[in-house]
């Protein structure tokens, strides 16, 4: 399948594995790239330039195909060494960067000079247009269904994707609710050039997370996510658990008086304990509504092969029959 995204990134299939904290390691990224998609290493999980350089080198040992680095810009009292991290990316020869969070404009000149393609994650059409205007090569359009931060507009992909198609000139992929061949075909029909999958890739054999995490996704339904931190205008979609339900109750009780310090126990330092140690009730971790579409734990190759084969059948078979009827 050839789209503007496969052409832009030099990949076989229009499927991207988005950056995920303590999931986007070399094992995950290389598996996706080897299967014909675009794997992504999560830069801030590594934290320091030295560790990121080591992770990139590990990934190069596992795949000869293109992979990218996710760089997320978050407000922090002790911000990461972004300059050092970007220098490592440029020096490594990696040719794709996925940016998220705040505006990446400061870093675009050095990335462009190194012929690195930039795809920026956006939760609205206006942010997508801004990304296009500052020189991003593509955008990942994240609908309200997505795990992690869906923004504050609450627009689902059935509206957001066609709106993006109306406005954008650069390629874009659909993110949020993407899990299978139906997702891919629907995204293409609504104007996207591919899909970005996060939560679905966690439930694969190669995902470097605890088995408890994978089983939690298989066992979850589309009703099992919660939105947290809405009063702080930092909304995040997470899988529900005991800690999350306590957090939600606290937000209801405190209302506009809520401060980040009030919920630190449920959100700070949670990811290593969940993803590595399998402590499923320790706190909040990002998960999309797409959990309701996850029923098994295949290899990444099996997952991508199945998506592509079934997508072809839908396009040439089911939809072809509709046209010829």
Euclidean distance between CA atoms 192 and 245, whole angstroms: 35
Q: Is the Cα torsion angle 275, 278, 279, 284 positive or negative in sign?
A: positive
Gap between the Cα atoms of 41 and 46, Å rounded: 9
User: What pLDDT is attached to residue 325?
Assistant: 64
CATH 3.20.20.70 positions along the chain are 4-208+298-324
Choose which CATH entry (3.20.20.70, 3.90.550.10, 3.40.640.10, 3.30.365.10) describes domain 4-208+298-324.
3.20.20.70
Q: Which pLDDT belongs to residue 78?
A: 86
Residue (of 167, 165, 122, 126) closest to 143 by Cα position: 122
pLDDT score, position 74: 84
**Within 13 A of 84's CA, how many CA atoms are on the CB side?**
12
d(CA 72, CA 89): 14
Kindly report, residue by residue over 14-40, the tens digit of the pLDDT.
999 999 999 999 999 999 999 999 999
Q: Give the whole-number percent of the chain exceeding pLDDT 70.
A: 100
Q: What is the pLDDT along the chain (325 residues), one digit of tens a residue?
A: 999 999 999 999 999 999 999 999 999 999 999 999 999 999 999 999 999 999 999 999 999 999 999 999 987 778 999 999 999 999 999 999 999 999 999 999 999 999 999 999 999 999 999 999 999 999 999 999 999 999 999 999 999 999 999 999 999 999 999 999 999 999 999 999 999 999 999 999 999 999 999 999 999 999 999 999 999 999 999 999 999 999 999 999 999 999 999 999 999 999 999 999 999 999 999 999 999 999 999 999 999 999 999 999 999 999 988 988 6
Query: CB neighbours of 26 closer than 8 A, spacing ≥ 6?
Result: 41, 55, 56, 58, 59, 61, 62
3-state secondary structure of 147: coil
């Amino acid at each position: 399948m050839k789209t503007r995204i496969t052409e832009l990134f030099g990949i076989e299939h229009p499927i991207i594995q988005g950056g995920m904290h303590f999931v986007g390691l070399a094992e995950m990224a290389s598996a996706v790239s080897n299967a014909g998609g675009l794997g992504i290493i999560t830069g801030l999980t590594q934290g320091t330039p030295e560790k990121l350089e080591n992770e990139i080198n590990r990934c190069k040992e596992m795949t000869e195909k293109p992979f990218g680095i996710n760089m997320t810009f978050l407000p922090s009292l002790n911000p990461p060494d972004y300059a050092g991290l970007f220098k490592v990316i440029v020096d490594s020869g990696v040719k794709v960067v996925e940016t998220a969070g705040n505006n990446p404009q400061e870093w675009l000149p050095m990335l462009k000079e190194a012929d690195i393609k930039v795809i920026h994650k956006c939760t609205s059409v206006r942010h997508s247009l801004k990304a296009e205007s500052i020189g991003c090569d593509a955008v990942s359009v994240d609908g309200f269904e997505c795990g992690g931060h869906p923004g504050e507009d609450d627009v689902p992909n059935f509206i957001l994707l066609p709106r993006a198609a109306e406005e954008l000139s650069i390629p874009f992929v659909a993110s949020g609710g993407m899990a299978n061949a139906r997702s891919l075909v629907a995204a293409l029909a609504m104007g996207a050039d591919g899909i970005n999958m996060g939560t679905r890739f966690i439930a694969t054999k190669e995902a470097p997370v605890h088995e408890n995490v994978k089983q939690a996704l298989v066992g979850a339904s589309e009703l099992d996510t919660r939105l947290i931190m809405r009063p702080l205008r930092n909304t995040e979609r997470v899988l529900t658990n005991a800690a999350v339900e306590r957090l939600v109750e606290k937000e209801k009780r405190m209302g506009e008086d809520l401060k980040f310090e009030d919920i630190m126990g449920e959100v700070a330092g949670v990811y290593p304990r969940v993803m590595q140690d399998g402590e499923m009730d320790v706190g909040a971790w990002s998960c999309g509504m797409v959990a309701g579409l996850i029923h098994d734990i295949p290899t990444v190759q099996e997952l991508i092969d199945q998506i592509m084969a079934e997508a072809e059948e839908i396009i040439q078979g089911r939809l072809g029959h509709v046209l010829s009827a």
